[in-house]
Every structure is written in C-alpha cells, then in structure tokens.
Structure 1
Amino acid sequence: MKFLICVLCCVMSVSAFGAQNKPIEVKVFIAGMFEIGANQGDKPGEFQHWFERYFIDAQSMDVAGALTPVFCNKNGVCGSVLGMGKVASSSSMQAIILNSQFDFSQSYFMISGVGGIPPSQGTIADVNWGSWLIDYDLGHRWMPDEGEPGAAVFMPRQGYEDIRVYQINPALVNLAVSLTKDASLKDSASAQAYRMRYPEPQARRKPRVTVGTHIAGDTFFHGPGLSAEAQYISELYGADDYMIAEMEGVAIAQVLSRTLGTDRVLSLRGAVNFDQGNPHETTLAHLDPAPGETAGGFAETVDNIVIVGGRVVDHIVTHWADFRDGYALK
C-alpha cells in the first residue's frame, strides 16, 4: 500500500511539473524594435501602446539571447522589444523562437514599428501594411561619378536571391487591409503644419491605412536620390512600390523563414518622417533640423499603429479556429 501511494505521489508530481512547464501556445507575437523608456507611464515608443493594450497583467519571461523579456497574456498574445537594426532584431527573434518556454508552431507574427515614407507616396501618421520586405543592402554600390551618367549606382549581389526579398502572404495582407482600411487615425496640428512644407498631394493629405513595400537598411538612407534608388530596387526585385524605409523587417523574415516559414508574418509600420527634405531644404538640414523644425506626429503615429494592428490581433484571437491551421493555407 505504501509503495502504491509513493508511486501515485510521484506520478502526480511529474504531472504537475509537466503542466507547469508546458510551453505557452502563442497565437500572435508582436515584435517592437525600441522603447524610449519604460513600457508604460512615460513617452511611448514602438511597444508601449501594445503593452498597455495586451500586457499590463501579462506574464513576463526572460529569454537568454533576447534584448528584453517576453510578455504573454492569457489569450495567447505575446510580445517583446527586439532591438533596432537587422542584427539586434533578428538575434532576439531567433532566441525567442528557439526558447522552450514557447510553442510557435501555429503563431502569427506582427512586425511593428515606425519608419520613413516618400512624400510622393504618403504622409506622416500613415500606417502601412507591408506587402513585400526588401533588404536595402546585399548589393554593390559606387559613387555616381564613377559610373555611367544618370545610371543606377546599385547592383544586386549574386547568391542572396532567397534572402533579399520576401513577399508577405497576399491573402493575409488583404485581410489586414480589409479589417483596417476604415480605421479612424489620430492626427495633430503640428503634423498638419509640417505636411504643408511639401508640395506633393500625398504628403499633404490626412493620414490613412496604406499598403506597399518595406525596405530595411542598417544605414539610415535619406534624400531624394536614395529614395529613388529604393524605388529602383523594389522594381528590380519585382515588388510593389517602395512605401516605408525601416531597419529590421527582412532580417526578422529571414529568421522566420529558416524556422517556421513566413506565411504567418505581417509587417506594420507607421510613418513618422518623410524620407527626404522639402524642395527648400537640403538633405542634411532635414536630417539635423534646427530647433522647432522637427516633424510633428510621432505620438499620434505610434498610437495609430496599435489602433490599426490591434484590430488584426483581436480578429485572429477571436476567430482562432479559422487561423490555427494557417489563413488561406488550408
């Protein structure tokens, strides 16, 4: 009898241990790139509004190799700040994906952050769904005066065809756009005034939800010349028009492609600056503005990102039976 009791106790202990250590089944993972200070209570960066919406009472877990802890709520929504740039963000993402505390086998990933936008394509406080993710680097460049006059100064490097461009699942992008295209976005008087410095109609309009290519570079490429080059690269790779300049998306996509695949990835970026100055200022002056000359709209943009992205996160969680096995992949 004593032996049987001991066996039962051992079985119960093992079962309890297994239950406590069962990996968290992640439905949606939200990836921010930076936070200005704390996750709540101060000036928000890319993650604070996500934290306030989903993670106030969430479990916090440290992950070796990740920049910051991962937060997970009871509904299967998790998130973390990965770090800025391709190396920092992708190394954090890899560490989190490979960590045994989580089950990402059926997860959706929301790459979320800010970026720059060409004034010919959009305006400050726009929120853009990425249809393609492109690496601005992985090529050869030279000074314009060292090539043919007026010709492009970029040539793709051979051998990187599979990692320099990723198309986001079109069905998932179309769903995200349909769920959010009528979202009421925030704006500000300072952003409205700043827009008027630009002559382009797209730059002067009110913010809205758009879709297009996100191009990531570790260098902060800027100015009309490099903006045109980014568009050239998009066309060269057969992608949609270049809409957002950022620093991480394609690197995170590469990590996911090696581990889980990219069919469940979304990229959402808010435009906090134009990628070039207005016709009356130099590129350097635009990069290093005088006091009072900085673009407005940052606070409204990071709020808009979550207003838009939160609709999709909530939709996936609410209709999990339709998404568990992969949207439009069944």
Structure 2
Amino acid sequence: MASFWSRSLPLAWVSAALMLAGCAVGLQPPSPAAAIATTAPAAATPVRVKVFVAAMFEIGQNTGDRAGEFQHWYERYWKDAKPIRVPGALQPVYCNADGVCGAVLGMGKVNSSASMQAILLNPAFDFSQAYYLLTGVAGTPPSRGTIGDVVWGTWLIDYDLGHRWAPEENTPGAPTFMPRKGYEDYRRFQLNPSLVGWALQLSADTPLQDSDSARAYRQRYPDAAARRAPAVGKGTHMTGDTFFHGPGLSKEAQYMAKLYGADDYVITEMEAAAITLVIKRSHGVERVMSLRGAVNFDQGNPRETTLAHLDPKPGETAGGFAETVGNIERVGSRMVDHIVTHWPQWQAGVPPR
C-alpha cells in the first residue's frame, strides 16, 4: 500500500476511502471478473512473465470508477485478460499476450508479501526471467519531495526492524532507534543501480499531471522542495507497517537511511522491502524496481500539530491523489513497455546503457 491508507495519510481520508471501498483495510471488493476467476490448470504451459506489476490496493472495481493504485495499469494492459485465481493471493493475477502480468497484493508487509509468495510459487507462471515493478502511493518529507512526485527506489529499508523506546527515556533530541542484530540480511536492500539508471533515463521527462488543490496545499509549507511542481526522482523508500508521522519520526527515518548507508529517505510506504525479500529468496533482487507517487507529506506544516495534520478538518486535506495515481502509471509504463519491446536485449539481464 501504499501510504494513501497508511502512514502519513489523514484519518479522515482513510475513513472516506474505506467507505468507498466498502471493505476492510487491505481488501478489495471482488469484481465480477474476480468472481468468475478460475485457477489455471497445473498441466497448462505456464505464462512466461516478462514484467510483473504489483499494486497494493484498489478502491472499487478495476475499471470504470474512482481509480486506486491498480486501475490505470489494468486499463492499459489487462482489460481483455482473463483473471487467474491464485490460492493464497489476495486478488487474481492478470496477464496479457506480451508477458506483462499484474495483481493487487494487499496493503502492509504481511498481506502483500504473502500474496507475492503465493504467486511466485504457483505453477501457472514462469518467473525465471521476470522483472518486478512494485508500485503504489506514498508519503514524502517536505524537505525532499512534494505532492505528485513519482520516485524510483534506490534502496529499500525496513522501518520496523530494530529497538525503539520512548523519547523521554533518552537523551533529549537523540534518535530513539537502534538496529537489532540478526536482521542484517533483510533490513535493507539496494536495488540494481543499472536498472534504476535505465528507469530514470526512460522516464525522467514524463509529463506529470497536477491539480489546483495540490498547488494550493503545497504553499502551506516553507520548504522549496515541497512548494515546487511534481517531478520524477529517486531515493530511499522506507517500508513500515508503523504509521509514523511528524517531523521527529521523519528525522528518525532519515537517520536510519544514513545509518544503513543508503541514499536520502524520500518515500514512506508499507510493502516494498517485504515483497523484495520474498522475491530475493526465489529469484534475487537484480530485477526488482520500486516506484511510488507522493500523495501526502509525512508531517504537518510548521503552523499545525501532528495530530491536526493526521486528522484534518473537511477541506483541509492535500489534493492530487487522482493525478498522482495516473502519474505513477505514466512513469512506470515507460519502463514496462521498453523492456517488453526490447525483450531480446533484456531477457538475460539488465543490458548496459
């Protein structure tokens, strides 16, 4: 998921989105297509997956209503595809004739990684040469990004693996986090720099949509990064089920990124590190990409409290959600289409640029 449901999104938005979805957090109501989905016969020739696009939630149906994280991908690649039910996965998998497959995995680390594991192990698919594009909405610190930004992940860090304690039990101003021994192999992942370089080369000039409401909302923040127009960028994605919020915890997330030798923390989300660990155990991480669009800031502006920002009054929320989910697909599809179109050069691994 994305941080639309998670970590820096106001509670009022979450409630509204849940009512629109008509379901519990992390669950997408079954579409008519999903209801008739059948499991692919084990004896059938498996789908040779070239690119797998993972979204974390959809607000309603896969097409024809308000778009969540999956709808634009579905409408681009799978409107005529038959859903393939995978036992253990939250939602069906869709594949087209070009080997582009995708699914809604569910929000949060356990939900999404359980779906990914079930899909990877299902004999209906051959992932031996697949690339993975993990997508969704997210939050960003106002010192590093703005509403509508689309950011390629360079590092993925698990925010929840370590020791924490109450700030009042610490030296004033010092971080209240310490890494725990034993998590070294899965608390951080560096994504393939060559693959990230390709992604930026192909998508950096993508025209991004914006909205009047997002433009107005940005002006509440003094940071130059927060007030600018949205752009395509790169940086560390911080994965955590914990809904961290406010300048203090944002600073702590940046501290963790530097502690682990990663790039600047620019995106807060809930799934990428966990999904990547599942993929790593089966196929490695050389072909994994993480792409997130910022729909909120991870803290309030200097004139509001953290709680007020988490639960704003009507009309006080950031705009730009609809534009950002569209931006994510516009940016990411450039990479997907390039890989598929030039598959002979990509199937054996990331080619030199």
Is 1:104 aligned with 2:104?
no
Q: Which residue does the alignment assign to 1:53? A: 76
Q: Which residue does the alignment assign to 1:286? A: 309
CA–CA separation in structure 1 for the residues paired with 2:152 and 2:95: 24
Q: Which residue does the alignment assign to 1:224? A: 247
Is 1:243 aligned with 2:295?
no
**1:77 positional shift:** 0.2
- Describe how 1:31-180 pairs up with structure 2 within 5 A: 31-180=54-203
Q: Secondary structure at the match of 1:61?
A: coil
The one-letter amino acid of 2:114's match is: S
Q: Which residue does the alignment assign to 2:292? A: 269
**1:148 positional shift:** 1.8
1:214-239 Cα distance to aligned partner (Å, 9 max, x none): 00110111100000000000000000
Q: Normalised by the size of structure 2, how large is the TM-score?
A: 0.87
The one-letter amino acid of 1:60's match is: P
CA–CA separation in structure 2 for the residues paired with 1:20 and 1:63: 15
CA–CA separation in structure 2 for the residues paired with 1:306 and 1:19: 32
CA–CA separation in structure 1 for the residues paired with 2:350 and 2:335: 12
CA–CA separation in structure 1 for the residues paired with 2:192 and 2:351: 9
Which of the two has higher C-alpha Rg? 1
CA–CA separation in structure 2 for the residues paired with 1:231 and 1:19: 46
**1:19 positional shift:** 11
CA–CA separation in structure 2 for the residues paired with 1:219 and 1:160: 18
CA–CA separation in structure 2 for the residues paired with 1:137 and 1:19: 38
Is 1:317 aligned with 2:348?
no
Root-mean-square deviation (CA, aligned residues, Å) is 1.4
Q: Secondary structure at the match of 1:80?
A: strand
CA–CA separation in structure 2 for the residues paired with 1:68 and 1:39: 11
Q: Secondary structure at the match of 1:60?
A: coil
1:122-150 Cα distance to aligned partner (Å, 9 max, x none): 10000000000000011000111111222
CA–CA separation in structure 1 for the residues paired with 2:220 and 2:42: 59
1:4-39 Cα distance to aligned partner (Å, 9 max, x none): xxxxxxxxxxxxxx9970000000000000000000
The one-letter amino acid of 2:179's match is: P
**1:308 positional shift:** 0.2
The one-letter amino acid of 1:297's match is: G
Moved over 2 A (4+): none
Q: Normalised by the size of structure 1, how large is the TM-score?
A: 0.93
CA–CA separation in structure 2 for the residues paired with 1:251 and 1:161: 14
CA–CA separation in structure 2 for the residues paired with 1:184 and 1:328: 26
- 1:140–1:19 Cα change, 3 Å: closer
Which runs of 5 or more structure 1 residues have no equivalent in the other structure?
1-17
Q: Secondary structure at the match of 1:326?
A: coil
CA–CA separation in structure 1 for the residues paired with 2:204 and 2:347: 24
CA–CA separation in structure 1 for the residues paired with 2:110 and 2:351: 31
CA–CA separation in structure 1 for the residues paired with 2:313 and 2:171: 36
**1:313 positional shift:** 0.2
CA–CA separation in structure 1 for the residues paired with 2:90 and 2:313: 33
Aligned pair partner of 2:227 in 189, 198, 204: 204
Is 1:308 aligned with 2:331?
yes
- Describe how 1:179-190 pairs up with structure 2 within 5 A: 179-190=202-213
Residue correspondences, number: 313
What percentage of aligned pairs have identical amino acids?
66
The one-letter amino acid of 1:315's match is: H
Q: Retained in 1: the 8 A contact 2:136–2:291?
A: yes
Which runs of 5 or more structure 2 residues have no equivalent in the other structure?
1-40
The one-letter amino acid of 2:89's match is: A
CA–CA separation in structure 2 for the residues paired with 1:20 and 1:304: 39
The one-letter amino acid of 2:133's match is: M
CA–CA separation in structure 1 for the residues paired with 2:173 and 2:230: 34
CA–CA separation in structure 2 for the residues paired with 1:59 and 1:172: 30
1:159-178 Cα distance to aligned partner (Å, 9 max, x none): 00000000000000000001
Q: Secondary structure at the match of 2:322?
A: helix
CA–CA separation in structure 2 for the residues paired with 1:119 and 1:36: 26
